[in-house]
A and B are shown apart, each in its own frame.
Chain A
């Protein structure tokens, strides 16, 4: 799955097949979790370790052919976190240093910067997974890892429906704002509210249509809604080892640096 920001990632048919795409999804998911766990327990202020871990994440993202623009757009998610990190620096306890004329807490600054670094590494790592794994692969991986079937079905179906509803909302919003004419804040809010209200009504109609299609296929119970796509590779020992490499590299960085 490629593409960026909120919802936009759910765009089928746009995919660069890289070496990471052929790895079994359950191995990739566990590998990602392992890597992020190692990153999470890195003590604050150890910038060389965090730098090495960021390099690991970036190289995996490179192998996964993550679009740089999509990555940059996702870094916008860091903005509120930066604000919070700044609070740590300003209001932190302990000895203070002067940075550009502002008095900041040394440990607060350290902790804040570490938190932003970890959040950024997380965004890069997840982008690598998302760019190399389709929704049905992701869902199959979660299923193989023991997530309950009903929940996994929900995730798969909703990720696909988000693309459809997203396009619908954009059209409705455009139509509403053209009719409202105004350019002010009020007009924009009204347009969004109208689009979302109409979209909800249409969504309930969509539920009925999907249900009808599911019944036509001969099942109305759980699990009959999401059909399996082309066979998705099961993890071999080699796949597990390969997927564990980023976590191992991150751990090696922790122990050596």
Chain B
């Protein structure tokens, strides 16, 4: 869920925007040092991939549907630094072109959907790297867990920002419970779908998946380094 315009007060939005600029800037710098050559093409195509990955609506049951969110998937595929930059691109396109998420809330949505879930997913992948090493079947599972955790973290961050910068007309616990509860189902779907997608990639091109188990944020073996 993206925060729309007018839901969070301006000081919180401005602070979030400043933090988001900082986080994306740091991630961009890390990315540029890793991807010497393809520093525009790779993240641009991956951001396009994430935009597209959100399109197919999947039936969840009782008339509701979900779609992939993708921060966890991106982190598993290319590491957190590039994932943060890609998600930032996606959030900007969504806010300015697709009217999904507020323009004044851009910083909030960047923060809640980029750095927070990407770092959480990276932490899960890092913690499980030993467990998945040398066991190719475990890699999709680990990525699925990371994506589910990332979704929960993104929802928690969104709820947190709504509480900090929102009204006090409703107890904070209720906001957290409603958003968190709704996203438990979403997180489950996200985990299953991410695991399935990583499974397909692992079957087709296992060499593309070194990042899911690699301990660092290396996106490609940098030439000449």
> Total interface residues on A, using CB and 8 Å?
90
Whether, in the assembled complex, A256 has its beta carbon less than 8 Å from a beta carbon of chain B, the answer is no
Question: For residue B25, which residue of chain A has the nearest CB?
Answer: A148
Q: Which A residues from 1 to 34 make CB contacts under 8 A with B?
A: 1, 5-7, 9-10, 29, 32-33
- Supposing A130-B98, A197-B199, A200-B197 touch, asked if A188 and B58 sit within 8 A by C-beta, the answer is yes
Whether, in the assembled complex, B178 has its beta carbon less than 8 Å from a beta carbon of chain A, the answer is yes
> Total interface residues on B, using CB and 8 Å?
75
Task: Report yes or no: B5 in contact with A201, Cβ–Cβ below 8 A.
Answer: no
Task: Report yes or no: B204 in contact with A197, Cβ–Cβ below 8 A.
Answer: yes
Whether, in the assembled complex, B124 has its beta carbon less than 8 Å from a beta carbon of chain A, the answer is no
A58 CB to closest chain B CB, in angstroms? 14
Whether, in the assembled complex, B208 has its beta carbon less than 8 Å from a beta carbon of chain A, the answer is yes
B12 CB to closest chain A CB, in angstroms? 11
Question: For residue B100, which residue of chain A has the nearest CB?
Answer: A77
Whether, in the assembled complex, B96 has its beta carbon less than 8 Å from a beta carbon of chain A, the answer is yes
Stretch at the interface among A90-98, A227-235, A236-244: A90-98
Task: Report yes or no: A222 in contact with B40, Cβ–Cβ below 8 A.
Answer: yes
| Interface SS of chain B | helix
Q: Please give 19 more A-B residue pairs, beta carbons under 8 A apart, in addition to A36-B102, A189-B196, A210-B45.
A: A32-B103, A39-B5, A87-B174, A91-B174, A119-B6, A126-B96, A151-B85, A151-B89, A153-B44, A154-B40, A157-B45, A158-B93, A159-B93, A162-B52, A188-B58, A192-B193, A196-B68, A197-B203, A207-B42
A→B interface (CB under 8 Å): 1, 5-7, 9-10, 29, 32-33, 36-37, 39-42, 44, 74, 77, 80-81, 83-84, 87-88, 91-94, 105, 107-108, 111, 114-115, 118-119, 121-123, 125-127, 129-130, 135, 138, 148, 150-151, 153-155, 157-162, 164-166, 168-169, 173, 185, 188-190, 192-201, 203-204, 206-207, 210-211, 214, 220, 222-223, 225-226
